[in-house]
Amino acid sequence: MASNVANHDGSATTTPAETNPSNEQPVNNNDQTVNDSEVFAPDDFLADSNSYYNNAKKYWSNVSPTVDGMLGGFGSISFIDIRGSEQFLKHLYKQKPAPGRKRALDCGAGIGRISKNLLLPLFDHVDLVEQDEQFCQTARTELADYGSKLGTVFNEGLQNFVPAQGRYDIIWAQWVLGHLTDEDTVKFFNRCAEALARGGMIVIKENFTTGNVVDVDRTDSSVTRPLLQMKQLLKQANMRVVKEQRQTSFPKELYPVYMMALRPTLKK
């Protein structure tokens, strides 16, 4: 999986550069009337997970290790994206208990765009995980000036990555979960929950479709899910949404992008 893409920003799901093929209005977050069975899952596309991940890896191996490459040609939205993420993080630190600021993990980190512009200025140490070796090497070079604040750059796909238990105050996954199958997305959340420090949170920032159908991109081997389906996966993973917010000021032709802060469901 390309760990990153958004456009590879780390992401991945379809890049922000991915445009919204419909003119429908964004799904209402409060609409709970849609049955699970109404969400279309592209089983034929995801049936062979090895091919799914290998195709994504091959696609990203041919992408330029630049901000524009990470964002699918939409490098101009990087500033707006980071500003929106900064504001979202500020709100999270008003929560009780608030996360610490010792260590963050950038998932699907690409060349380190989010680490450089968002996480490293805010945390004492930042680790990155990215499946493409060229992107990892570029990140190490680009972030070298941060010295000891730059932790480990893990060269591994998120479907296999196991973060250290109790290590991270913030785990940030942006534009990358569309490169994971539904099953591996749930497993990823489970592993991340174990990796959170006391008071820690997982933050996801992803494209979402405006209807109840999963959009398939066979070019970069990714899917864009409905918001409702993501919330179903979170429920399966025993995660609860602490805060949810839509990214504003992106070009209208792009998919709606939502940020969600997550914590494990409290045990009764």
Binding-site residues: 108, 113, 158-159, 174
Say how many C-beta atoms besides its own lie within 10 A of residue 89's C-beta: 20
| Nearest CA-CA partner of 69 in 138, 126, 118 | 138
State both tokens at 93. 């630190």
Q: Would you list which residues are annotated within the binding site for S-adenosyl-L-methionine? A: 108, 113, 158-159, 174
d(CA 90, CA 164): 25
Say how many C-beta atoms besides its own lie within 10 A of residue 65's C-beta: 20
Using the Cα atoms of residue 231, residue 104, residue 181 and residue 257 in order, give the sign of their dihedral.
positive
End-to-end CA distance of the chain: 36
d(CA 113, CA 108): 11
Paired with 264 in beta bridges are: 239
